[in-house]
Structure 1
């Protein structure tokens, strides 16, 4: 079994569980997590810069050089470094070069979709490093991964060389997310409380679901717009029918996925042009055997089969969403189960185990190409 480094400048984030889920599914490769800042312990080998080493952290942030990484990774017998998000790939690129290792960079959304000016305005050092070193990354990294066909086009527009670009869906754990015969009287949405997630659109659509039918909306997530969204629910007269659960652990989300009547994702492009790169949450819902409704935004249409496993609507069009939501809710439990099982069959075609085998084939190819150059 070969060792590889999985790099993220700061990790782990609850919203980025897809990174560790993918790493856990590796069979031919053993992951070593590498980061500048470790937010909480990981159940695997990890290398990070001591939070007390302020000089070492500052040096790495400004110069992209770390004696800690070089010292600790030299003895790990690594075959490759896989960085998640392009700014992170820029940060770890000097280490990969110093160790003579191939570097793969996956773009998950904002790093490719946001304009360069918008990235500059974030005032984040990693984004500034990316802007300064973007062209060198495209030239020197061994390969790039797009998480959807939509992202592939965005990455090509950004300047990623087509010859180095792979399209690869991370996939979903269909053993973890499984159907449950019980179907609750609620609609589910799992999203951070930010504009791009379109929760406002969902609330306005849900307000058009007749009160007499007794449907509830359960929303999982938190963010900068929580109070604003809760105020909108009161304004629309649906506050008694909306339950705000805040951020929840993955296992709790799984239970809600199994019990909901349908799942809705109303994401839309924000002012920076950022939207969903794919929509793993839609696959999780499909694997749980429930119909999904999603906007035609970003890569989300790739996460369902329209009119078979769910329905699509135009981003921002809450009237269209309301019509399709009311249609799905008006059907019988058996009708929704039938559509949900079709969704599960689709999700099984993108099971994370088979998808990770494809990823390992990419690793094999990149390592072989790097060795021959």
Structure 2
């Protein structure tokens, strides 16, 4: 058989070209398949993220919320309502919803909120009043960083001791908010916590302020200067109560001396002057005197060695008391503001 060498070479070259073209086609197809798989994977990943965001996460949140509103919550509600007398099913439902909303908007659990109803009822509130007071107590607890039971006790006890409990519900709630804002603001401006200021009032200070017709703002301003000197909590409350007593006793037992020096802790109507004014009056009288002369003057005014120690704590603080009182008189909204900051801080952790 005769072979044509040229034809063989030509056919071989053509075959190689066809083979290379086939390889390229296969490569292109594989590349396209890879891109398709990649796109599918991206879509699946996106779908998974969406499911996590819109389905899984909400379900998890619902699960967590369900945990907050479980059997313990129901038991706490039943126990709290047991001392409120006849509470209708409709009122209970409203109170439960309020407790749940408190749990969702603060760092407190629904059970804690339900427990607080018990303390609010113990403070003399009926179901409707307790339900209205609950969000205020929750904000106070969050702002002060203590539990609901403690917050309820401190807030209601301070309000009652100050004589700010009222028969009218609207007035009572307004006074509760006022006490809460003052105690919360005090923590921001002086060297003590909200709880320490609350404890100072509920110990003895509030009763003494009420007896001398002094406002919570004036009283907490004095407690603030004590706090700046390291006297806090019940110790500060005792000190303020003693100070008010010492001042009245001194003038009452040494009237002639006070009149001779043209000094008085009372105004023309017989009401006790503002503490900043009383301290300023004493500061003015002792200005320029030696330590010995100051001691002698205080003794003439009726202050013995023990009471002088307490009075001397206030010397040089009249302007600070006045500044603190002004700030506290403008403390409206402080509890809500601080509570929101606390919640944001917790959410970042």
TM-score, scaled to structure 2? 0.26
The structure in which a higher percent of residues are helix is 2
